[in-house]
Structure formats: structure tokens, C-alpha cells
């Protein structure tokens, strides 16, 4: 009988880093003229390494899979674009590549028109900086301030779910743009039949979707951001655990912050995500221009030489108007209202002409 796999990176007597945070899931969508092989290359993976599966999933008929990284496409639904899912194991695979950097990868993907629809950050805590039981009790006693829905799981229909849910706390819902999960990772792994190194292993996850995922995607792409401080900064603005006063004050905003939560946050600055400032449905004008130059300009040049500039331009305008989707019309309206963005594009055009 084979032994169950060993999981965890606990080292006795060695303290974990302040905030050991990693990207644990990333979903991307690319809507452009390039095929899935080009998408694979942008991820730094040879298309030849992928296995093709004719499996209908999430509306797509074909998917290409390697090391827990999936590229989905469907020739009958070109308007959907190409979808990419990178799981936690897929993210660890990418990190093993030579000279890998999340900032470098995401900057390249952002530059080439990819959009993030989900981005999860995960913190592994082997020192029990936070106690799941304490968090659970705070939520049950309503000694917390948050705008999100709170769920404490302590029941399950079977052994596996009961083992996991008994030590899990959700802040947010399945439909939320932002949700937070605190749980005992060691219990989860043992329930799966894995052997866990060390006595303690908590996992704290921040799950961002749609506009919030896009904002995080762009922030990480811009620089080698400290993922730990970034995640904790969002936690700081999302939830506050408090001490109930003896005087009966019902205004929770005046309650003292729990010392253990304050110690965990330390000196990080609060980070507020904005769904308005980072609307994943609206692509900036300048980014559209860059995409046109990279992806379309060579073909435009060839066709213009044959058909003439006016001829090919008229074809593109006529066909483009016919193919406008509801999403394109929203983007068009946004562009018409975006005078600052228009000014930036005009400046970019002048630089390119020089």
C-alpha cells in the first residue's frame, strides 16, 4: 500500500515570512485575432506540451491542458474569445520556469489585451498568526464590521465536508466580486488522504472576480508588488474584528479593534478596490491602439497595398459596425465620454507618426 502524498512546507524551528502570499488561481480572457497557440506562447509554454481534449466545458468545445493550466476555445463562438484558467498547481509550475516573474508575465499579458476575470491570492500560515476558532467566534458573536455576507460552516452532509467546514469561515458570497476565506488547510489535506508536515497549517484566501480581479491584475502587472502587503491591505479595508465594550455601545465603529487583528495587519495601508475605476468591460483607448498596432497593422498594410487605404478602411468600418456586440456598444459609449482618454490616444498617435 502506497503512502499518501506529503504536503505542506513546514520546517520546525523556522519562522515563516511576514506575509507568505502567492497567486493561487488566475482566469483570463483574450479577445483578439490570435489563436490558442499564440496564447500558450504568451504564457511561456510551448503549444506542443498541451494535450487537446474534446470536452464541452463552460460553453467551450475544445480545451488544451498542461500542468493544471487550461486554454479553452470554440471556433463556433469567436465572440467569446479564448479563456485561460491557471490553478494553484499551474501557478507553481509557471514559477519554476527560468527567470519567471509574475509582474513580467502579467505586464506582457496586460499589454497584449488579456483581461482577468478571477484572481485569487493565498497566504499559508504555519505559525498560526490567526486562530480560525477565534475568527469563527467573533463572527458568531457579531463582533466584526464588514459590508460583506458572513458564513460560518460547522455542519456537513458527509465526513469530508464536515471535517473541512467545521474549520472554515467565509466573508462574502459566491456572487461577490470579493470574498475572503479562512480555513484550516491541514484538516482539508488530511481529509483528502494527504500526510501533513507540522502541526499547524492555516490558509487565508482572497478571491477577486471581474472588475476587482482586473484591478489586481493591473496592479501586480505594473510592478513587483509585495503580494503579502497588497493582500493584507485589502483584508484591512474589508473586515475588522472588534472587542465588544462593556458599556453596551451599539455603534460597532466605535468598538476597539481586536489586538490580535491589529498585530496581524501591522503597518499595512488599507487598499480599497473600486469597480468603477477599473471596469473590466471597458478597455482603455490607448490599450486598444496598442493592440491594433501589434495584431492588425501588418495585415492592414498588406491589404492596403492591394485594395488601397480607402477601400480596406471602408470594408473594416462596414463589417465592424455589423459585428458590434452589446459589450462593444458599451465600450463605444464609454470612449465617447472619455475625453481624457481620447486626448492620450491623440498624443500617442502623434508620437507614432514622428
The predicted pLDDT at position 242 comes to 96
Q: How far apart are CA 144 and CA 41, in angstroms?
A: 46
* Alpha-carbon torsion angle 38, 78, 75, 87, nearest 10: 60
Q: How far apart are CA 307 and CA 297, in angstroms?
A: 15
If one counts every other C-beta atom within 10 angstroms of the C-beta of residue 232, the result is 25
**Beta strands across the sheet bearing 21-30:** 51-53, 62-66, 69-73, 82-86, 21-30, 115-125, 202-209, 178-184, 168-171, 150-153
> Which residues make Cβ contacts (< 8 Å) with residue 64, sequence separation at least 6?
36, 40, 47, 50, 51, 52, 53, 70, 71, 72, 73
| 200-246 confidence digits (pLDDT tens) | 888 999 999 988 999 999 999 987 668 999 999 999 999 999 999 98
> Which residues make Cβ contacts (< 8 Å) with residue 2, sequence separation at least 6?
none
The predicted model scores a pTM of 0.72
Where residue 307 falls among pLDDT bands split at 50, 70, 90? confident
Average pLDDT of the segment spanning 171-193: 83
Q: How far apart are CA 292 and CA 144, in angstroms?
A: 49
Q: How far apart are CA 123 and CA 203, in angstroms?
A: 6
Which DSSP string do the residues of 187-231 spell out, in sequence order? HHHHHTT-EESSS--EEEEEEEEHHHHHHHHHHHHHS---HHHHH
Residue 125 has pLDDT above 80, yes or no: yes
The predicted pLDDT at position 54 comes to 80
**Beta strands across the sheet bearing 256-257:** 144-146, 239-243, 256-257
For 26, 93, 323, 340, the CA distances from 88, given in Å and listed in that order, are 8, 9, 37, 39
The predicted pLDDT at position 154 comes to 47
> Which residues make Cβ contacts (< 8 Å) with residue 302, sequence separation at least 6?
none
Residue 137 has pLDDT above 80, yes or no: yes
Average pLDDT of the segment spanning 61-82: 89
| 140-170 confidence digits (pLDDT tens) | 999 999 988 777 764 343 433 444 444 688 8
Amino acid at each position: 500500500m502506497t503512502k499518501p502524498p506529503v504536503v505542506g512546507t513546514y520546517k520546525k524551528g523556522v519562522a515563516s515570512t511576514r506575509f507568505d502570499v502567492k497567486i493561487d488561481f488566475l482566469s483570463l480572457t483574450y479577445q483578439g485575432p490570435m489563436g490558442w497557440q499564440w496564447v500558450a506562447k504568451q504564457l511561456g509554454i510551448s503549444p506542443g506540451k498541451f494535450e487537446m481534449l474534446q470536452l464541452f466545458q463552460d460553453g467551450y468545445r475544445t480545451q488544451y491542458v498542461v500542468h493544471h493550466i487550461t486554454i479553452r476555445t470554440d471556433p463556433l463562438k469567436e465572440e467569446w474569445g479564448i479563456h485561460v484558467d491557471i490553478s494553484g498547481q499551474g501557478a507553481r509550475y509557471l514559477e519554476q520556469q527560468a527567470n519567471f516573474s509574475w509582474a513580467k508575465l502579467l505586464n506582457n499579458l496586460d499589454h497584449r489585451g488579456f483581461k482577468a476575470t478571477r484572481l485569487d491570492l493565498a497566504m499559508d500560515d504555519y505559525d498560526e498568526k490567526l486562530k480560525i476558532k477565534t475568527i469563527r467566534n467573533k463572527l458568531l458573536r457579531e463582533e466584526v464590521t464588514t459590508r460583506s455576507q458572513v458564513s460560518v460552516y460547522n455542519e456537513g452532509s458527509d465526513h469530508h465536508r464536515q471535517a473541512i467546514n467545521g474549520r472554515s469561515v467565509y466573508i462574502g458570497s459566491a456572487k461577490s466580486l470579493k470574498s475572503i476565506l479562512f480555513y484550516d488547510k491541514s484538516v482539508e489535506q488530511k481529509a483528502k488522504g494527504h500526510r501533513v508536515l507540522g502541526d499547524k497549517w492555516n490558509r487565508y484566501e482572497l478571491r477577486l472576480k471581474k472588475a476587482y480581479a482586473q484591478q489586481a491584475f493591473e496592479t501586480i502587472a505594473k510592478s513587483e508588488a509585495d503580494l503579502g502587503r497588497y493582500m493584507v491591505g485589502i483584508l484591512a479595508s474589508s473586515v475588522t474584528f472588534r472587542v465588544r465594550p462593556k458599556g453596551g455601545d451599539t455603534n460597532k465603529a466605535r468598538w476597539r479593534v481586536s489586538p490580535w487583528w491589529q498585530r496581524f495587519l501591522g503597518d499595512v495601508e488599507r487598499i480599497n478596490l473600486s469597480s468603477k475605476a477599473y471596469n473590466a468591460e471597458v478597455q482603455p483607448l490607448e490599450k486598444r491602439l496598442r493592440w491594433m498596432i501589434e495584431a492588425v497593422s501588418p495585415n492592414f498594410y498588406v491589404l492596403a497595398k492591394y485594395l488601397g487605404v480607402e477601400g480596406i478602411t471602408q470594408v473594416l468600418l462596414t463589417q465592424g459596425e455589423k459585428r458590434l456586440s452589446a459589450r462593444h456598444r458599451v465600450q463605444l459609449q464609454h470612449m465617447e465620454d472619455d475625453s481624457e482618454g481620447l486626448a492620450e490616444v491623440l498624443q500617442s498617435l502623434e508620437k507614432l507618426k514622428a
